[in-house]
Amino acid sequence: MTPIYPPEPFRIKVVEPIRLIPPEERELKLIEAGYNLFLMKAEDMFIDLLTDSGTGAMSQEQWAAIMRGDESYAGARSFVRLEAAVQDVFGFKHFVPTHQGRAAENILAACRVKPGQWVPSNMHFDTTDANIRARGGRPANLVIDEAHDPENRHPFKGNMDLAKLRAFIEKYGREQIPFGMITVTNNAGGGQPVSMANIKAVADLYHEFDIPFFIDAARYAENCYFIKQREPGYESKSVKEIAHEMFSLADGMTMSAKKDAIVNIGGLLCVNDDALFQDIKNELILREGFPTYGGLAGRDLDAMAVGLYEGLDEAYLSYRLGQTAYLAARINEAGIQTIQPTGGHGVYVNAGALFPHIPNYEFPAQALAVELYREGAIRGVEIGSVMFACLDPETGLWHYPKLELLRLAIPRRTYTQSHLDYVADTLANIKDRAHSVSGYRFTYAPELLRHFTARFEPLALEVASA
């Protein structure tokens, strides 16, 4: 039976109109954009599930805080308010604001990663991966094997494989590992949480070898709520207490505040180490701005200070995770597979299973992304071979990811149950004609991060199924 999600713990005071353009117009827009949804206009979307990053709705308290923004260059009141919130929620000794998550990652990598060094994690998100590589470093993903099986219902599928991590550290040694990480929740693996027991064991392992431990905290509040729901011993702790315990295990964190701090722009970099903090401030001044604003306006800092608390609110978190579970259940009822169990911020549809007649090199998840727009003017994001297939320079062979997924990320406090019903019904209509959907081929593809700018054309169905 479909779970009923808790009613929205807010009512709507400001509305942003959305418009469903007719099917013939959608067809033209697809052709103009070369069938790449990144190249399409937001005004042509009815429901936009491209990302949950910076796309949520701010509260009346956040908009009020924006009016109190202090735009002083140094030591602004806004900074002082954010500092108090960051200290209260995360408890690290030092912090700087950054313009978004990848800026925090860039500064940390610039300060600590040297060419040839390794940075292990459960799974790095792609900007973290790229920022480590940009400094000549090598990211390593050591998540448990269960993460790669879409049917496996492990409650903490974001966990690090501790045996793999120990073997990895023993192989490369402390000198080759400037710091270690873990991403909560694991976005690249389906928004799956990491258990407190696993975070503790990871922290102990890094510290046994004297390796500093950083948390990618983009969706930490959702992770903490999963711990409260699923991990014995945490049922009666508050999400804030769980967060305190989690961050007390780490030496620092990077965060895209566009997720669980419910702001449209912003990020954080926190550390305990005094010498590292000095390096961070110098790098920040060079690239982002003075340490009391970090590339943001004062009003952005105030919105973040308020959003940090709203992201921890348990009525909100129960509604939020209930909403994701509801959408997944409605999609599953239509006989369409999604990654199980459902993660925090989105539903990951198994496009490979929906279109078994489209081989991975003809991009089944891209085909589903196009079809979802064609059928209902809904935008998701392909997480499959368009994004991740890569050419092995040594063998000259293409490596394809294990799964062809379409992610439907749910912006925070933005869409209602009937919007989600519309998404599930649209997918069900596509399933009814799944056999008639064809694959795609590139007409243009850059070498790196090709999903953002590639262009495609549909293949004739006879070719696709030949």
Residues annotated as catalytic are 73, 125-126, 216, 218, 259, 451
The answer to whether 296 touches 70, Cβ cutoff 8 Å, is no
Q: Does residue 354 touch ligand P70 according to CB under 6 A?
A: no
Q: Which is nearer to ligand P70, 123 or 424 (CB)?
A: 123
Q: Which region, judged by CB under 6 A, interacts with ligand P70, from 48-56, 233-241, 272-280, 329-337?
A: 48-56
Q: Does residue 381 touch ligand P70 according to CB under 6 A?
A: yes
Kindly list the distances between the CA atom of residue 452 and the CA atoms of 33, 131, 276, 447, 448, in Å, as whole numbers in the listed order: 11, 17, 34, 11, 9
Q: CB-based burial of residue 446 (10 Å sphere; 0-12 exposed, 13-18 middle, 19+ buried)? A: exposed
Q: Does residue 258 touch ligand P70 according to CB under 6 A?
A: yes
Binding test (CB under 6 A) with ligand P70, winner from 100, 122, 366, 385: 100
The answer to whether 415 touches 47, Cβ cutoff 8 Å, is yes
Binding test (CB under 6 A) with ligand P70, winner from 142, 211, 218, 253: 218
- Shortest reach from residue 359's CB to ligand P70, in Å: 24
Q: Does residue 121 touch ligand P70 according to CB under 6 A?
A: no
End-to-end Cα spacing for the chain: 39
Q: Which region, judged by CB under 6 A, interacts with ligand P70, from 19-27, 112-120, 123-131, 312-320?
A: 123-131
Q: Does residue 187 touch ligand P70 according to CB under 6 A?
A: yes
DSSP code string of 208-229? HTT--EEEE-TTHHHHHHHHHH
Return d(Cα 139, Cα 133) in angstroms, integer: 7
User: How many C-beta atoms surround the C-beta of residue 26 within 10 A?
Assistant: 20
Q: Pairing between strand 455-458 and 381-383? A: unpaired
User: How many C-beta atoms surround the C-beta of residue 74 within 10 A?
Assistant: 9
Residues near ligand P70 (CB under 6 A), total: 18
Q: Which residue is nearest to ligand P70 (CB)?
A: 101
Q: CB-based burial of residue 383 (10 Å sphere; 0-12 exposed, 13-18 middle, 19+ buried)? A: buried
Q: Does residue 50 touch ligand P70 according to CB under 6 A?
A: yes
Q: Does residue 122 touch ligand P70 according to CB under 6 A?
A: no
Q: Does residue 143 touch ligand P70 according to CB under 6 A?
A: no
Q: Which is nearer to ligand P70, 124 or 459 (CB)?
A: 124
Q: Does residue 183 touch ligand P70 according to CB under 6 A?
A: yes
Q: Does residue 348 touch ligand P70 according to CB under 6 A?
A: no
Binding positions for ligand P70, 265-324, rule CB under 6 A: 267
Q: What share of the chain is helix, strand, coil (3-state, %, to 5)?
A: 45, 15, 40
- Shortest reach from residue 379's CB to ligand P70, in Å: 10
Quote the DSSP letter at residue 43. G
Cis peptide before 98 (omega within 30 of 0): no
Q: Which region, judged by CB under 6 A, interacts with ligand P70, from 122-130, 293-301, 309-317, 458-466?
A: 122-130
DSSP code string of 390-403? EE-TTT-PEE--S-
Return d(Cα 278, Cα 281) in angstroms, integer: 5
Q: Does residue 161 touch ligand P70 according to CB under 6 A?
A: no
Rounded to the nearest 5°, which phi and psi values hold at 385? -75, -25
Hey, what amino acid is at 3? P
Binding test (CB under 6 A) with ligand P70, winner from 127, 192, 195, 292: 127
- Shortest reach from residue 296's CB to ligand P70, in Å: 12
Q: ∠ CA 359-365-369 to the nearest 5 degrees?
A: 140
Q: Which is nearer to ligand P70, 254 or 360 (CB)?
A: 254
- Shortest reach from residue 412's CB to ligand P70, in Å: 12
Q: Which is nearer to ligand P70, 135 or 459 (CB)?
A: 135
- Shortest reach from residue 187's CB to ligand P70, in Å: 4
Binding test (CB under 6 A) with ligand P70, winner from 36, 51, 195, 366: 51
User: Which residues of this chain interact with ligand P70, rule CB under 6 A?
Assistant: 50-51, 53, 100-102, 125, 127-128, 183, 187, 216, 218, 256, 258, 267, 381, 409
